[in-house]
A and B are shown apart, each in its own frame.
Chain A
Amino acid sequence: MNNAFIIGQYVPGNSLVHRLDPRTKITVIFFFVFIVFFANSLASYSILTAFSLASMLTTRIPVRYILKGLTPVWFLIIFTFTLHIFVTKQGTVLVEIFNLKIYSGGVIQGFAISMRFFLLILVTSLLTLTTTPIEITDAIEDMLHPLKKIKFPVHELALMMSISLRFIPTLMQETDKISKAQASRGVDFKTGSIKDRVKAVVPLLVPLFVSAFKRAEELAMAMEARGYRGGEGRTKLRELKIMKLDIAIFILFAAVAAGLFLTRVY
């Protein structure tokens, strides 16, 4: 378990993208994922790429850091590219190595699909890079608000998510403490067969669950002592507000989408 995980991928900052309302970011990204699939010409891809790169640079997060976060996906992107190069047989033959012919259509197709893939992953990862998990939770609670009408427990779920997030570092420390305590008593977590390692997890989990139950009791009591009585009429410390900036971003994004649909080939 690495410590970076405590706050997830989030990189603190005060950039334009950081300051956007999380609901704006979620909405824009949702529609971005949708329109990416409509790009099919050089111009439409250029518009999408320009938008994505501009958003990435605006975050002021070091580009190397962002790209490093995409490491697991690089393999897939390269794999897709190679596959398309060798399988698609359209256009003129560019290179011929022994029996393998590489067609121009394959290269273009490979580029287009890998680019699409890359842009999708890049833009969606910007959300978790510039928004704290708790902000995302607040935004989701707010956006799911209409579901309350059909008795879907939006508030309760959001509360559970917030509590869960709050206790990630606490329970992580707890896990660390317990595993050290058990290791000092001779439990071996790191070596041995699968069976031995599964067995070693039991003395780690029993105290972890017991302590979580105890913490839950304390927290429940503390919340009730402070007058918690469910979602009705509860006020918030962090209010979400749509600012001029958010409206500007919506307009910009609408322009990008319009540009894409104008330049795509039908």
Chain B
Amino acid sequence: MMHTQSSKLLRLIILALLGTISLLLIFLDFPLPFLPGYLKIDFGDVPALIAALIFSPMAGVIVAAIKNGLYLIVGGGEPVGVMANFLAAMMFVLPVAFLYHKYKGVKSIVSGLITGTIVMAIGMSVLNYFVLLPIYAWFMGMEEMKIEAVKRATVLIGILPFNLIKGIIVGALFVPLFLKLRVWIEQRHVKMV
């Protein structure tokens, strides 16, 4: 490992590149056959997880922010959806990061991923029910319509199972990936904390 004068700059650049990878991974998405098309699984949260584990929880938040900022300014999404994606990423990444930094080891990653999945699934359900779906309804001029039943159905059939499955799939990918990468990082004696 070549030592640069300031590891701060190196860290900043690593986070930027992880953000780029995040954005690229959004386009590697695949829809689940039994859920509506707009709910797509993507691996965009994986780089944020990596940043959160090798640096700090804050680094994970920054990578998620870069990813969504990029997505917005290349014209990929609308602000509400982007905000929702950012909040989902935080709910998923932060529990993993906190548990890992406290206990270290594979077990803490796995239990962190399970906690993160549950937090994200419940958090996004609540957020959709009370904030996001009403915002969309408002944009479409449906605020005065009786949409309670529709909202409940969307959350229970769509949002909740989607986030659970997303968490499980992303977690299943992340564990082997991180273990392989960790070996490489340690071999290079990178002091990245």
Contact = CB atoms under 8 A, between A and B. Distances in A.
Contact of B50 (A1, A83, A202, A209): A209
A14 B110 CA distance: 53
B4 A167 contact: no
A194 B47 CA distance: 20
B119 to A, nearest CB: 22
B10 A208 contact: no
A217 B10 contact: yes
Nearest to B170: A198
B16 A164 contact: yes
Nearest to B169: A198
How many chain A residues sit at the interface, stated as a range, is 35 or more
A206 B180 contact: yes
Interface in B57-86: 62, 65-66, 69-70, 73-76, 78
A230 to B, nearest CB: 8
B14 interface: yes
B28 A171 contact: no
Given A80-B140, A216-B10, A223-B9, A163 B75 contact: no
B24 A113 contact: no
Contacts of A127: 75
B9 A224 contact: yes
Nearest to A165: B70
Give the most central of B12, B23, B176, B184: most A CB within 10 Å: B12
Contacts of B17: 163-164, 167, 171, 212-213, 215-216
Given A206-B180, A223-B9, A160 B73 contact: no
A228 B32 CA distance: 46
Contacts of B32: 194
B180 A5 contact: no
A133 B141 contact: no
Contact of A116 (B10, B14, B141, B181): B141
A161 B69 contact: yes
Contact of A8 (B6, B74, B142, B184): B74
Interface in B130-174: 139-142, 145, 169, 172-173
A209 B181 contact: yes
A201 B13 contact: no
The binding surface of chain A is classed by DSSP as helix
B181 A220 contact: no
A136 interface: yes
A160 B66 CA distance: 8
A221 interface: yes
A117 B177 contact: no
Contact of A5 (B74, B169, B176): B74
Nearest to B14: A216
B70 A198 contact: no
A181 interface: no
Contacts of B103: none
B5 A164 contact: no
A24 interface: no
Give the most central of B10, B28, B50, B74: most A CB within 10 Å: B74
Nearest to B146: A87
Contacts of B6: 224
B20 A167 contact: yes
A245 to B, nearest CB: 22
22 contacts: A1-B24, A8-B73, A116-B141, A127-B75, A128-B74, A160-B15, A160-B16, A161-B16, A161-B73, A163-B17, A167-B20, A194-B30, A198-B169, A201-B28, A205-B46, A206-B181, A209-B47, A209-B181, A210-B184, A216-B13, A220-B10, A228-B9
Given A168-B70, A212-B20, 15 more contacts: A8-B74, A8-B75, A109-B141, A121-B78, A128-B74, A137-B73, A157-B62, A171-B24, A175-B24, A198-B172, A198-B173, A201-B173, A210-B181, A213-B185, A224-B9
Interface of B: 1-2, 4-6, 9-10, 12-21, 23-24, 27-28, 30, 32, 43, 46-47, 50, 62, 65-66, 69-70, 73-76, 78, 139-142, 145, 169, 172-173, 176-177, 180-181, 184-185, 190
